Amino acid sequence: MRECFLNVTLPVFNEASCLRESVSRVVRMLDTIEESFEVVIVDNGSTDETPQLAKRLAEEDPRIRMIRLEKAGRGAAIKRSWLLTRAQIVSYMDIDLSTDLACFPALIAPLRRQEAPLVVGSRLHKDAVVSRCWHRDSISRIYVKLVQHVLGDRLSDFQCGFKAADRRTIGAILPLVQNDSWFFDTELVFVAKRLGFRVSEVPVRWNEDRDSRVRILPTILEDLLGICRLRWDSMGK
């Protein structure tokens, strides 16, 4: 595994239709801001042609790597990539590129300046520009209010698929993050703050992917159970 400055992890599940174009766009963006980088495609349980296509992309460009997990789970995919990399800065984004790639330099800027070890993108920041259907936006806002109330955290967005961190810091956080699926993002932030690490957030420009793989009701249940677990754990400490 080669040394590099920046890791960009792309968790994927049945994304053969957009994988090549999205990866190409990410690589072109990175070429303009950083010489030393890797793009890691983590396939977690795809049943379409995603694994084969990811393998071909990795063969075509040495800066692209592919990891295969047999079980679906965005959190597990991110964990595997971040724990294996030797990059100084780790990051991830959703393969649909709902977040404008032009926001990426701002995401990693606090890490370059060593101002914060974990930076999260926010769709609910006052300076964010978002195009989203009303019911998903309402669910996100209710979720944030719930997390703020129950867990006492004041961030404006926890679940945006656009985050970056210092690798050494993340090495201390990840072993304590239990969730391997969609609640991973919230627990990552919660554990980081519990350990005393500063978490910075940056506004993003975000356009909803209407072909999202997120199943709303099971995800809501998972999130509620996760919030209860974290609340219970924090009361016991």
Fold of 6-235: Spore Coat Polysaccharide Biosynthesis Protein SpsA; Chain A (3.90.550)
Question: β-strand 64-69 against 37-44: which pairing, if any?
Answer: parallel
Whether 96 sits among the annotated catalytic residues: the reply is no
Rounded distance between C-alpha atoms, residue 231 and residue 152, angstroms: 10
Q: State the pTM of this model.
A: 0.92
- Which listed residue (166, 180, 185, 223) is catalytic? 185
Range 166-177 average pLDDT? 95
Beginning with the edge strand found earlier in the chain, give each strand of the sheet holding 64-69 in spatial order: 64-69, 37-44, 6-12, 89-93, 162-166, 118-122, 199-203
Statement: residue 107 has pLDDT above 80: yes
Q: Model confidence over 40-97: pLDDT tens digits?
A: 999 999 999 999 999 999 999 999 999 999 888 999 999 999 999 999 999 999 999 9
Q: In this structure, are residues 191 and 173 in contact, taking their beta carbons and an 8 Å threshold?
A: yes
Give me the residue spans of the domains in the chain.
Answer: 6-235
